[in-house]
């Protein structure tokens, strides 16, 4: 692995990436900020502060995940982060997207609804955001349709496909579905992610190795796997 992105749903990780690079010289470690309640939700100041972190290794802004309104559906009384109202992005969401464009960060859709993700991508395109990714892409909780994923790709968005824990009984059916979805949008618009590094799951490197092998058995070539697992993620992060 050339590099890795560290994600925490509640703590910014740009400073952690700075320290990790000191501990593992030669590995390109990046961080980000997840716009959940601990950082004030849709808070452009959180984006601006990440830009000031030593090293400049903050790279991705997730547009609320565990605290998103979409993620909190069915849990009445729980606080959440709202990004839109009546089919329109809130002013603070638009301000966050402007901050992402200003610092040349990556706009990641987080766990918002499919319609909200598409509104964000269209606004990102208008605001001049150069790097965007549909978090978890066509899987829950956002679950973009094929038509939405294709539109997102036309706006310059990479669609993320997460291997996660492939030791579970559902693994084969999930990979079968992902293979069909990847072919639907084209490998040039897909990125492969482990979504690992969490308790009771394989290490990211081990998980990715299994994910790649399962996709290889689905008929994807080494060149296609390199495109989705190396070249596209590097382009998303603005690397050469």
Q: How far is it, in rounded angstroms, from Cα 193 to Cα 200?
A: 18
49-63 confidence digits (pLDDT tens): 999 999 999 999 999
Is 180 among the domain residues?
Answer: no
12-40 confidence digits (pLDDT tens): 999 999 999 999 999 999 999 999 999 99
Residue 77 scores a pLDDT above 90: no
Which sign does the torsion angle of CA 22, 27, 28, 30 carry?
Answer: negative
Q: How far is it, in rounded angstroms, from Cα 26 to Cα 5?
A: 14
Residue 168 scores a pLDDT above 80: yes
106 in Cβ contact with 213 (< 8 Å): no
pLDDT at 170: 95
Residue 74 scores a pLDDT above 90: no
pLDDT at 31: 98
List the domain range (segments joined by +) for residue 126.
3-163+187-195+222-236
pLDDT at 76: 85
Residue 192 scores a pLDDT above 90: yes
Is 82 among the domain residues?
Answer: yes
Is 70 among the domain residues?
Answer: yes
Residue 240 scores a pLDDT above 80: no
Average pLDDT over the chain reads: 96
pLDDT at 143: 97
β-bridge mates for residue 30, sequence order: 5
Q: How far is it, in rounded angstroms, from Cα 83 to Cα 15?
A: 26
CATH number where 59 lies: 3.20.20
Specify the 3-state DSSP secondary structure of 57.
coil
Is 76 among the domain residues?
Answer: yes
The total domain count for the chain is 1
pLDDT at 73: 86
pLDDT at 109: 98
132 in Cβ contact with 158 (< 8 Å): yes
Is 202 among the domain residues?
Answer: no
Residue 1 scores a pLDDT above 90: no
Percent pLDDT > 70 in the chain is: 100
């Amino acid at each position: 692995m050339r590099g890795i992105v560290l994600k925490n749903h509640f703590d910014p990780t740009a400073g952690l990436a700075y320290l990790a690079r000191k501990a593992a010289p030669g590995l390109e470690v990046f961080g980000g900020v997840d716009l959940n309640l601990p950082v004030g939700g849709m808070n452009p100041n959180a984006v601006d502060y990440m830009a000031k972190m030593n090293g400049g290794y903050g790279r991705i802004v997730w547009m609320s995940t565990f605290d998103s309104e979409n993620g909190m559906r069915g849990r009445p009384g729980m606080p959440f982060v709202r990004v839109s109202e009546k089919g329109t992005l809130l002013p603070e969401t638009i301000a966050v997207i402007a901050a992402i464009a200003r610092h040349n960060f990556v706009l990641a859709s987080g766990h918002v609804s499919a319609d909200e993700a598409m509104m964000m991508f269209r606004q990102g395109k208008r605001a001049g955001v150069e790097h965007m990714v549909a978090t978890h892409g066509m899987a829950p909780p956002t679950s973009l349709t094929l038509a939405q994923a294709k539109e997102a790709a036309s706006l310059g968005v990479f669609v993320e496909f997460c291997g996660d824990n492939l030791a579970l009984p559902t693994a084969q059916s999930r990979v079968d579905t992902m293979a069909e979805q990847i072919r639907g949008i084209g490998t040039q618009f897909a990125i492969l992610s482990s979504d690992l590094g969490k308790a009771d799951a394989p290490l990211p490197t081990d998980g990715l190795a299994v994910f790649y092998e399962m996709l290889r058995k689905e008929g994807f070539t080494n060149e296609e796997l390199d495109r989705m697992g190396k070249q596209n993620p590097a382009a998303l992060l603005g690397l050469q």
